[in-house]
C-alpha cells in the first residue's frame, strides 16, 4: 500500500525542556505526517514529538488531502508543499505550533 499524507492536530502538554513560552499550558500543533494509514501516521508523529521533549496528549486526525477536499476543506499552496515534503521525506512536518494559555477568567 502506498504512503499517504495525513493532517493531524496534536495537543501537547508541558515538559521541562519543551521550549514553549513561559506561562503556556501546552500547545496545539498542526502536523502533516506520512504513513500507510492514519494509525501509522499518528504513531510516528507521537514518537517524534516525544523525542523532541514534547508531551502529546491528544491527536485528532483530519484524513488525507482527498478526504479533506471531499469535506470541503480549502488547502492552500503552502500547505500542499508541506504535505508533499512530508510524503517525499517520509516524515512528520509541523506546519503550525500555537502555544496555549489558561484564560484569565477561568483561573481560580
Phi, psi dihedral angles at 33 (to 5 degrees): -130, 135
| Residue 79 half-sphere exposure toward CB, CA atoms < 13 A | 16
Query: How distant, in Å, are the alpha carbons of 27, 63, 103, 107 from that of 60?
Result: 14, 9, 23, 26
Position 1 confidence tier, pLDDT thresholds 50, 70, 90: confident
**Confidence check: pLDDT of 78 > 60:** yes
Chain-centroid distance, C-alpha 101: 18
Query: How distant, in Å, are the alpha carbons of 26, 50, 53, 56, 71 from that of 13?
Result: 4, 11, 10, 6, 30
Mean pLDDT of all residues in the chain?
93
Q: What pTM was computed for the model?
A: 0.90
Amino acid at each position: 500500500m502506498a504512503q499517504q499524507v495525513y493532517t493531524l492536530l496534536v495537543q501537547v502538554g508541558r515538559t521541562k525542556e519543551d521550549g514553549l513560552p513561559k506561562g503556556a499550558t501546552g500547545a496545539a500543533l498542526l502536523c502533516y505526517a506520512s504513513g500507510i494509514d492514519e494509525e501509522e501516521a499518528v504513531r510516528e508523529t507521537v514518537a517524534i514529538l516525544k523525542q523532541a521533549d514534547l508531551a502529546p496528549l491528544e491527536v485528532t486526525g483530519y484524513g488525507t488531502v482527498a478526504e479533506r477536499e471531499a469535506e470541503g476543506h480549502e488547502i492552500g499552496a503552502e500547505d500542499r508543499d508541506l504535505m508533499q515534503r512530508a510524503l517525499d521525506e517520509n516524515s512528520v512536518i509541523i506546519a503550525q505550533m500555537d502555544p496555549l494559555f489558561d484564560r484569565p477568567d477561568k483561573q481560580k
